[in-house]
Amino acid sequence: MAHCYLKGHGHCSTERSNEHYISKAVLKRMEKDRAVRVGGLHWQPDRTLQRIGTNSLQSHILCKRHNSGLSPLDTSADRLWAAVDEIDKDPASVPPLTSVPGFHLERWLLKVAAGLTATKRQPVPDQWKAILHGKPWPSGWGLHVPATKGPRIHAAELEILTMPSSDNVQAIECSMAGPRLLLLLGATLTVPDGHFRPRGLIFQTPSGERRIEFIWPFHVDTAITYTKVGTTNATPPDRAYWT
């Protein structure tokens, strides 16, 4: 399958699959009238948000077998998004504990980066492809959750950034409905204070404590804590200069 970016890592099927750059389930959380406001894709004007149909944000970049094999990653990302969003909007409706496999979340972030790379017809790094196919993560690579510094606005938005550049990516930064996640892709990058592969996220809300626990095959005690201090209609500061 010539258009599958995981060709050579396991067996491809002969049937092509329309793969969303970002998981369809996550896009559905943000859509209105079957469209989402999107900016920053390689073919879009700089710092401009455009309404694009959710079904248009897909491409033939994976065969059907590889796409199906990675679908559990999308399910886990959607579970995390739903929990964070509902904890912010209606914490009383959320159970005290939500669990998400940590390795799923890491690979989902890598899958998003690989998909966006493939849509630009650029080569996806072989090491990324091997990890997506199940190879262990190199030492020092993986999920890092920065410590909270000052208020953060929780909104139904997703932001994906590559660091330090798209030519030599050493980390992928993701803001998912508020919390920041950092996927380290190298041991030499200096990162802000926080925790590497933490136990999860703790939210202190008027309805009591709500936890999102990341499941790892090892014991972890550390977690990142958020405390709700109020509500606002302000635009998230990361998007202050977007139109």
* pLDDT computed for residue 36 by the predictor: 85
* pLDDT computed for residue 100 by the predictor: 97
pLDDT of residue 120 exceeding 90: no
- Per the listing, tokens 């959320």 go with 94
- Give the pTM: 0.90
Higher pLDDT: 133 or 161? It is: 133
The model's confidence at residue 1, banded by pLDDT at 50, 70 and 90, is low
* pLDDT computed for residue 69 by the predictor: 93
The model's confidence at residue 23, banded by pLDDT at 50, 70 and 90, is confident
Q: How large is the average pLDDT for residues 133-154?
A: 87
In the numeric block, which tokens belong to residue 30?
């943000």
Question: Which tens digits make up the pLDDT trace of 63-90?
Answer: 999 999 999 999 999 999 999 999 998 9
Burial class (CB in 10 A: 0-12, 13-18, 19+), 220: middle
Residue 16 phi/psi, 5-degree rounding, is -80, 155
- Per the listing, tokens 């491409």 go with 59
HSE (side-chain half, CA atoms, 13 Å) at 49:
12
The model's confidence at residue 43, banded by pLDDT at 50, 70 and 90, is confident
Distance CA 104, CA 100 (A): 8
pLDDT of residue 166 exceeding 60: no
pLDDT of residue 149 exceeding 70: yes
Question: Which tens digits make up the pLDDT trace of 192-201?
Answer: 688 999 999 9
pLDDT of residue 158 exceeding 90: no
The model's confidence at residue 167, banded by pLDDT at 50, 70 and 90, is low
pLDDT of residue 98 exceeding 90: yes
pLDDT of residue 39 exceeding 90: no
pLDDT of residue 161 exceeding 90: no
Cα–Cα distances (Å) from 99 to 7, 53, 55, 206, in that order, read 32, 31, 29, 21
